[in-house]
Homo-oligomer: A and B are copies of this chain.
Amino acid sequence: MDRPTIIDIARLAGVSKKTVSRVINNSPLLSKPTREKVERIIAETGFVPNPTARALALKRNFLIALVHDNALDPALVEVQAGMLAALKHSEFALCVHFLDCGPNAALRAFGDFLEYHRPSGILLMPPLSEQDELAGLTWEFGCRCARLGAKPQTESPGWIVTPDRQASADAVHRLVLAGHRRIAFISGREDTRCARLRELGYLDAMAEHGLDRGPALIAAGDDSFESGYAAAELLLEVSPRPSAILASNDEMAAGAVHAAHKSGIKLPAELSVIGFDDAPIASRIWPPLTTIRVPLMEMAHAAVNQLIAPEASESTTHDFPVELIERGTTAPLHASAGESGAFAFQSG
């Protein structure tokens, strides 16, 4: 026999379709006995409302969509893992959508996607999360929206963020405490606030310590391994050579480590490197990368919980802490190597 429909339940319970529907949707105006009777029948039959039919009536699908603009972004695995964990045992499915057109066409393509597939909720990855027009569109379609990234200037709802600027500055402080003075920075995609804030944090801290933060110490990357490699090659041939590099993400930090190896520079003895994110690659390269952990999985989990919550919570932004994880690519500056070897070893 086929699955029971709402009509079967209604007949079995001796009530109308609509009453069963009310039970399903937790309508407040129902007598206790009626509700309990229907709920018993539902439990006995194992009835599950057909999501497609509900979707047609409600004009929205039981889908939570992850929307990104980089299909090969290594962060996607972790984000999805967090989302899937939160979606477990829920009535929603995870849908992944790739928006690869330019920023202008993106709005239209995103609208088409929303209108066509009508997801119940959207999780926007950076840099898409920073386009307010995209978030605005989701509202128009009665679709909730969560955004991953760095904290925006103006408080707005749905943001899941980390204190990138402060974290970046803290990493520099640690390097300075370990005696480093010439600290270079590899920046990330300019179109992400996250990357810009990480650079600002670096600049903050360098200024605070009165250290040189000239253009020779800052190289532009685009969040990719290759760009980190190229940037490090540039940084490592200036003289005096930086004794430490902070990269805006782990991929680029890994690229920097790669470049150092290629140049025969010993890590961490001759060069310290700090990455950002604690992506899987961080613990897999040699030496294992010291990095600032961003709890992407937990963040995605929280984002989805917010998206599928029965009532839209008016939480503005959800802050997650970051944490510096010391591994093998950082060491105190050797007195012999530094231009001002005053500082001795200091456990940060």
Contacts and interface: CB of A to CB of B under 8 A. Distances in A.
Contacts of A52: 52, 55-56, 61, 118
Interface string A198-237: 0000000000000000000000000001000000000000
Nearest to A225: B284
A247 interface: no
A51 interface: yes
A281 interface: yes
Contact of A93 (B72, B117, B261): B117
Interface in A9-68: 48, 51-53, 55-56, 61, 63
Interface stretch (A76-84, A123-131, A162-170, A188-196): A76-84
Nearest to A61: B52
A322 interface: no
Contacts of A142: none
Contacts of A241: none
Given A51-B117, A55-B55, A76-B80, 10 more contacts: A52-B55, A52-B56, A71-B81, A91-B116, A94-B97, A254-B284, A255-B284, A257-B286, A261-B286, A281-B281
Interface of A: 3, 48, 51-53, 55-56, 61, 63, 71-74, 76-78, 80-81, 84-85, 88, 91, 93-98, 100, 115-118, 225, 251, 254-255, 257-258, 261-262, 280-281, 283-288
24 contacts: A3-B115, A52-B55, A52-B118, A53-B56, A55-B55, A55-B56, A56-B56, A71-B77, A71-B81, A74-B74, A76-B77, A77-B77, A84-B97, A84-B98, A91-B116, A93-B117, A94-B97, A95-B95, A225-B284, A254-B284, A255-B284, A281-B281, A285-B285, A285-B286
